[in-house]
Amino acid sequence: MTAEIAGLVLSLVLLALAGDQFIVSIARVAGTLRVRPTVVGVVLGGFGTSVVELIVAGLAAARHSPQLAVGSLVGSVIANVCLALTVGALIMPVRVGSATVRREAPLSVLSVTLFAVLAVGGISPAKGVVMTVALLPVLALLLVSALRPGPDSLGDEVVEFLEKPAHSPGRELIRVIASLVVMLVGAELMVNCVLGLAARLGMAQGFAGLTLVGIGTSAPLIASSVQGARRGEHELVVGNVLGGNLFIALGGGALVGLLSNGRPSGAGVLALSIMVGAVVVSWLAMAKGGVVSRWEALSLLVAYIGLLPFINR
């Protein structure tokens, strides 16, 4: 069991480092191609913060472990809200712009809810197609929202980031490919180690995904939320959580459905209910006064810890 634990820790390190390099390289390639900073911000806040979860879930589904795959997606969404957002808000109450409450938050909640509804009874290839189709208009709405005139703190942060010394596009593309390869290696190692630990401990694959993989793959987002909260970058904290959950739900669900080889995969009704409840409660907290307070964050964290033993039922 020591070998599996060491392998799990190593996989987390590989995924975190490679995921960070992937985001940096993608942003710089987009900068050299003169992609608008707001569009880059949407990518960084959504796909970039969920790429690790997508790779792990997709690989688990392809490896004929669909329960682990779906469990990891559900666990990641819950951890993003109940750990990443709450830890950030405990450090400093997170203020949310009204535009985020009106546009990005509802899209994220609807995406997670659709994923939960489709996951009941198992995610089949047909349901994977449904989530793929649903992801396209959601992405379009996000891009339209990002391109609207007006203040854009996330876009400003991206501009500041891209103003660092220029790098060769070819070099950055190599870093993108290398990062993806390392993430695949890390995901393969994580799936193998989690399956081994689950077998040794008599743990169901779904529960292992909800806990070990879900929390593990959310660790980089938790760390970035802590840094963002300490610097007062509230929009970055909220945008990463909302965008990450959207891509994890629809993108991850689509991958699992399409790669599951016809094996329906789902999660427990309680786990899905907790996931939807967490994102809805966080949305209500954002809408109430435009701030997620420390008391609200602490309540979510305590509820998560209390429900964790029952989360796979």
- The model's confidence at residue 11, banded by pLDDT at 50, 70 and 90, is confident
* First and final C-alpha spacing in the chain: 26
313 pLDDT above the threshold of 80: no
Could you tell me the sign of the dihedral formed by the alpha carbons of 70, 196, 213, 189, in that order? negative
Half-sphere exposure of 21 (CA within 13 A, CB side): 19
Q: In the beta sheet, which residues pair with residue 94? A: 292
pTM: 0.84
Which three-class secondary structure state does DSSP give residue 95? Answer: strand
In contact, 229 and 91? CB cutoff 8 Å: yes
Average pLDDT taken over every residue of the chain:
80
Of residues 172, 180, 213, the one with CA closest to residue 73:
213
Question: What is the tens place of the pLDDT at every residue in 152-197?
Answer: 554 555 555 445 545 566 777 788 788 888 888 888 888 888 888 8
Q: In the beta sheet, which residues pair with residue 16? A: none
- The model's confidence at residue 135, banded by pLDDT at 50, 70 and 90, is very high
What's the confidence (pLDDT) of residue 146?
61
Hunting for tokens 């669909």 — which residue is that? 66
Residue 112, domain CATH? 1.20.1420.30
Question: What is the tens place of the pLDDT at every residue in 85-110?
Answer: 898 889 888 887 766 667 778 888 99
Question: What is the tens place of the pLDDT at every residue in 242-281?
Answer: 888 999 999 999 999 998 765 656 678 888 999 999 999 9
| Residue-range definition of the domain harbouring residue 235 | 2-310
Report CA-CA distances (Å) from 8 to 11, 23, 287: 5, 22, 38
DSSP structural state of residue 292: E
In contact, 291 and 95? CB cutoff 8 Å: yes
- Region of 232 (left: φ > 0; alpha: ψ -120 to 50; beta: rest) is left
In contact, 281 and 78? CB cutoff 8 Å: no
Total domains present in the chain = 1
